[in-house]
């Protein structure tokens, strides 16, 4: 199945139960995913075969929990219209919904395709795993553990001396208060 056939079949199933904005969000995600896999050397057919039957995928999307929206379309993305959906090249992040909601608040919802936060720290630009970053983090943790171990060893060796100095300090302060 070609990319366009896959997208057409998926969008047809999604349009049965979701509003336009929600369908556009899902289509943008899967178009980006397919393009990304093709950039890695796979063919359209390989990628769409891996994704499986668009009808089954659509059923999974429709059954997925959406705390901010209902699958019936009412209140999805708090009432965004298709005109408020912004493609990559129009004033906003890729695949974002921007504008005022029915309640009057201004919001931006990022495309779920875009990685952010912790997941991206260990990823290279081509999507691979960044071993160098992981090794650097592990080395930093090892250094902190070594320093803590050294502090514990020093304190344990000099504990009797430290204890005696603390006792002498307390006794001296008590005598100074009594005078």
Is residue 100 scored above 70 in pLDDT?
A: no
The per-residue pLDDT for 114 is: 46
The per-residue pLDDT for 179 is: 75
The model's confidence at residue 125, banded by pLDDT at 50, 70 and 90, is low
Alpha carbons 145 and 90: distance in angstroms, whole number: 49
Is residue 14 scored above 70 in pLDDT?
A: yes
Question: Other C-beta atoms within 10 Å of 10: how many?
Answer: 23
> What pTM did the predictor assign?
0.39
Is residue 107 scored above 80 in pLDDT?
A: no
Q: Averaged over 72-83, what is the pLDDT?
A: 45
The per-residue pLDDT for 16 is: 87
Mark residue 25 as left, alpha or beta (left: phi above 0; alpha: psi -120 to 50; beta: remaining).
alpha
Q: Averaged over 59-84, what is the pLDDT?
A: 57
Sign of CA dihedral 123, 126, 131, 137: negative
The per-residue pLDDT for 130 is: 76
Helix count and strand count (H, E) for the chain = 6, 3
The per-residue pLDDT for 132 is: 82
Tell me what the pLDDT averaged over the chain comes to: 75
Is residue 83 scored above 60 in pLDDT?
A: no
The model's confidence at residue 87, banded by pLDDT at 50, 70 and 90, is very low
- Percent of the chain exceeding pLDDT 90 equals 35
Q: What is the pLDDT of residues 28-67, one digit of tens each?
A: 999 999 999 999 999 999 999 999 999 999 988 888 876 4
Joined together, the tokens standing for residue 6 give 């896959």
């Amino acid at each position: 199945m070609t990319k366009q056939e896959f997208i057409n079949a998926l969008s047809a199933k999604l349009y049965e139960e979701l509003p336009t904005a929600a369908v556009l969000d899902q289509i943008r995600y899967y178009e980006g995913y397919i393009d990304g896999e093709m950039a890695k050397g796979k063919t359209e057919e390989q990628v769409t075969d891996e994704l499986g039957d668009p009808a089954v995928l659509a059923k999974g999307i429709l059954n997925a929990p959406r705390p901010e929206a209902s699958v019936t379309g009412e209140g999805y993305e708090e009432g965004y219209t298709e005109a408020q959906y912004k493609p990559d090249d129009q004033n906003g992040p890729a695949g974002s919904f921007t504008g005022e909601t029915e309640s009057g608040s201004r919001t931006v919802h990022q495309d779920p395709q875009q990685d952010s936060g912790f997941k991206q720290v260990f990823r290279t630009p081509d999507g691979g795993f960044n071993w160098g970053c992981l090794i650097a983090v592990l080395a930093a943790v090892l250094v902190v553990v070594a320093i803590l171990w050294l502090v514990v060893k020093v304190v344990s060796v000099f504990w009797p001396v430290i204890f005696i100095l603390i006792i002498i300090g307390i006794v001296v302060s008590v005598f100074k208060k009594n005078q």
